[in-house]
Amino acid sequence: MAPGRTTTLGADEAQHARVRRVGIGDPLRLVDGAGRVAWGTLVRLARSQAVVEVERVEQVEPLPPVHLMVPIADRDRMLLLAEKATELGVTSWRPVMWRRSRSVSPRGEGVGFQPKVRARMIGALTQSGGGWLPMLYPDATVERAIAACPPGARWLLDAEGESVAEQQVSSPIIIAVGPEGGIEPEERAQLVGAGFVPVKLGPLTLRFETAAIAGLAIARAGLPASVENARV
């Protein structure tokens, strides 16, 4: 994307434009998922492509990092969470095969499921006005997920934990969400041993996708609006 040039969008974007009833001459906002945002005008729309004349391009700052360890679970509910997590500006998405994840069917896992997650994230990014797509990591065991965690604050969403209101919100932050029915005691011990603080979001037991959305929203509400502001 460069000012004064045209950029060609594929069939999916062309279909999206038709569904939204975008016409020739209408203004459009384009994102590449890596921080570049462009504004332009639709100059051609066909079944297989859309052509946009780019007028202005900006680089937007990423949000302070908030990483999510999401359970491998029911695939439809995982897709819902992928959409909402993107709207909340999650930085990365790492699916974890908890012990209780293995009893779920049909579950969202494997390389065939990742494109579905990515497509849902792209749609959410476009709708929410964000500029950065989450980093999408492959499925991991509990041990591998813990080993891959970056430095930072670590929360384990747990109904038996401390109140989230007592936690200081700082970035980077990693939020671990267990499967339906909770994590096993051995898994909990592994996370606590790796520095995860068990925190509860309220008095009731939440579904994993509800807990993750609430945890992300609390983290985002307590963080500055950009990495640059976080450095000040």
| pLDDT (tens digit per residue) in 176-222 | 999 988 999 999 999 999 999 999 998 888 999 999 999 999 999 99
Label residue 230 by pLDDT band (50, 70, 90): very low
Residues 6+ apart with CB under 8 A from 84: 124, 209, 213, 216
Window from 8-17, 91-100, 155-164 with minimum mean pLDDT: 8-17
Give the burial class of 111: count Cβ atoms within 10 A of its Cβ; 0-12 exposed, 13-18 middle, 19 or more buried: exposed
Question: What's residue 226's pLDDT?
Answer: 58
Residue 196 gets the label, from left (phi > 0), alpha (psi -120 to 50) or beta, of beta
Question: What's residue 157's pLDDT?
Answer: 96
Label residue 16 by pLDDT band (50, 70, 90): confident
By residue count, the chain amounts to 232
Asked if 183 and 100 touch (Cβ cutoff 8 Å), the reply is yes
Enter the CATH code of domain 6-59. Answer: 2.40.240.20
pTM: 0.88
Domain positions in the chain: 6-59, 66-231
Label residue 231 by pLDDT band (50, 70, 90): very low
Residue 118 pLDDT > 90: yes
CATH 3.60.20.10 fits 66-231, yes or no: no
